[in-house]
Amino acid sequence: MEAVTTETRQTWRAAGPIRILLAFLVAARLLVGASELGLATAAPEAPATEPAPKPRERAQEVARLLDGVARRQVELDEREREIEGRAGTLAEQERQVLEDLSRLEALEAKLGERLAAASQAEDAAAASLAKVYAAMKPEAAASILGELDDETLLRIVSRMRSKELGLILSRLDEKKAVLVTTRLASTG
C-alpha cells in the first residue's frame, strides 16, 4: 500500500510543473496571438462589431487562468493529503482486523481443545455408566434406563456388549427399545 501512495505522490509532484508549463503556454498564446507563434491557420478575426481584446484584458485572462490552475493545484494537494490520511487509517484498520482474526483463531483453537476434552470426559463417563448398568440386574437397569432422555440412553447403551444390551432391551419400554434399536442400527 505504501508503494502505491509513494508512486501516486511522485506522479502528482511530477505533474505539477507540467500543469504550470501548460498554463504558461496558454497564457503566452493569448498574449502573443496565434499568428505570431507561426501557426499556419490563425483563428478567424472577431467580427468588426467586437473590438479585439486589449493586452490588459489578455493579461487579466491569463491571470485568471493561472489563479485557476493554482487553486486546482491546491485542491489536488489537499486531496492527496486526504487520500494519504485515509490510506493510513485503512492500514491501521487492516492491522487491527488481522490482530482480531489472530486472537479469534487462538480462541477457536482453545475452544476446540476444551470441546475435545469435554467429549473425552463424556465418553469416559458413559463407558463407566455402561459398565455399572451392565453389572446390574437387567430388570433394575431397564427401569432406570427407561427414565433417561433418549440421547443419554443411547450414549450409555451404545457402549454395552451385545449380550448385556439384549437382556436390558428385552425389559425396556417398547418405544424406548425400538428407538435404541433403530438408532444403533443407523450408526453402525
How far apart CA 8 and CA 80 sit, in angstroms, is 8
The pLDDT score that the predictor gives to residue 138 is: 92
Structural domain spans, the chain: 2-34+54-114, 136-187
pLDDT along the chain (188 residues), means of 10: 59 64 66 50 55 77 89 92 92 94 95 94 90 92 91 91 91 90 84
Phi and psi angles of residue 96, each rounded to the nearest 5 degrees, phi first: -65, -40
How far apart CA 58 and CA 25 sit, in angstroms, is 13
pTM listed for this prediction? 0.44
At residue 149's C-alpha, the angle toward residues 144 and 154, to 5°, is 85
The pLDDT score that the predictor gives to residue 108 is: 95
The pLDDT score that the predictor gives to residue 187 is: 79
The pLDDT score that the predictor gives to residue 15 is: 63
The pLDDT score that the predictor gives to residue 57 is: 85
Residues 6+ apart with CB under 8 A from 127: 159
Q: What is the DSSP string of 125-144?
A: HHHHHHHHHHHS-HHHHHHH
The pLDDT score that the predictor gives to residue 90 is: 92
The pLDDT score that the predictor gives to residue 35 is: 45
